[in-house]
Structure 1
């Protein structure tokens, strides 16, 4: 199986500061599920920024969808970014749009007609338990509700890669499990999922998911599993 992402000796620094990530070597595979863990300040958010193309590495090379990003025509980057769904810690919802319109945004950008997108948007609102708040604007939603809208927006277009930064940090345990089920369902459709989390409880819920652990900017992979295709994913009993 060909990898969908490959990091080769990647490092990242901001300005003239010391590297926040160094010597990263790993591959991610289509249809795989990864949990990214590590202490605060370990570099998790910085690694996610590389994965969703918010930053380019300071050294080393990243290949994505078979292309070396360091030599790729920069005009292709917007197309690449549309293949990546992102759940940000700070949500980044558009304040002037309703919950439904925030969720529909990726479909509209992709040129999906209003008639075609209404069904998927309504289904997603129902899944996240906000069907009765479809017309509510972000300022009137709780933090947990905003998080659910942000997640729905990230997954509705069935991206090739989903990157989620602490996606369950603002929801109750029951909704956290429901969101994990949503990620797992998307993964079964072929999306590669990377979830950054401090919640070790989540790691025990998914058999076959692989763990990436960052420690002071370096990746710990003692089994070498990040160089091989994943095992089948099994969602454990959520009770």
Structure 2
């Protein structure tokens, strides 16, 4: 894997909903393959909209987006599902399948990828244990707390070791100890080669991955007009 290859490229990207003002304007930046990035900025800055562009839930109003070296703006819609399988996403609202157990929600990406049923139990059980839900494998989402649902959503996003992991406030519903554990999980996945993008308001979280870079949005634009990525501030030693 080349350390300099870009997995994501934005060139003069703008996003407008309906006829209103642009939500995102003139975004030009690149994310290198294998990098770890924190996306920050105040509420309303456009972080969730940017993430939607990254996982192809939204197409830009203008500009060029390349993902895995391919132009996804003009890509035929019938190719998008295959592309999305290369991306793991942790949504703020979890988006778990209500009628499926925690085990089956986590197993879903593996089943979609064609993994044999006999090969599912070990990786899914290990992932449940990692996020502290080994005793809740058969529980359905409605019986899980918000923090437990968040952990299932994260386990589902990382189980297939995606090439790109996108997480929108992934530690917002868990206690500090579990937040550390989850960030450690993202860190371990990143060290295996996955590019990680985490949107967060938690300034303390930014100190946990010293090698991570920071992309800051302010009112729909990059706070640094050159598009350069910054390293997060160092926190106090613990």
Q: TM-score range by the shorter chain?
A: over 0.9
Q: Quote the residue 2:39 is aligned against.
A: 36
Q: Quote the residue 1:18 is aligned against.
A: 21
Q: Quote the residue 1:106 is aligned against.
A: 109
> Partners of 2:147 and 2:23 in 1: how far apart?
30
Give the alignment of 1:79-228 within 5 angstroms: 79-221=82-224, 225-226=228-229
Q: How far does the alpha carbon of each residue in 1:55-87 deviate from its partner, in whole angstroms, 9 at most, with x for none?
A: 000000101111112232322111110001000
What do you get for the CA RMSD once the two structures are aligned? 1.8
Contact 1:160 1:191 in 2 (8 A): yes
Contact 1:45 1:165 in 2 (8 A): yes
Gaps of 5+ in 2: none
Shift of 1:221: 3.2
Runs of 4 or more consecutive aligned structure 1 residues displaced over 6 Å after TM superposition: none
Shift of 1:29: 1.0
Contact 2:28 2:227 in 1 (8 A): no
Q: Quote the residue 2:62 is aligned against.
A: 59
Shift of 1:54: 0.2
Q: How far does the alpha carbon of each residue in 1:18-54 deviate from its partner, in whole angstroms, 9 at most, with x for none?
A: 1000000000111100000110000000000000000
Shift of 1:8: 0.1
Secondary structure, aligned partner of 1:169: coil
> Partners of 1:30 and 1:142 in 2: how far apart?
35
Contact 1:210 1:225 in 2 (8 A): no
Secondary structure, aligned partner of 1:50: helix
Q: How far does the alpha carbon of each residue in 1:130-163 deviate from its partner, in whole angstroms, 9 at most, with x for none?
A: 0001000101100000000000000001001100
Contact 2:27 2:227 in 1 (8 A): no
Gaps of 5+ in 1: none
Secondary structure, aligned partner of 1:20: strand
Structure 1 pair 79/201, CA: closer, same or farther in 2 (3 Å)?
same
Q: TM-score, normalised by structure 1?
A: 0.93
> Partners of 2:13 and 2:48 in 1: how far apart?
15
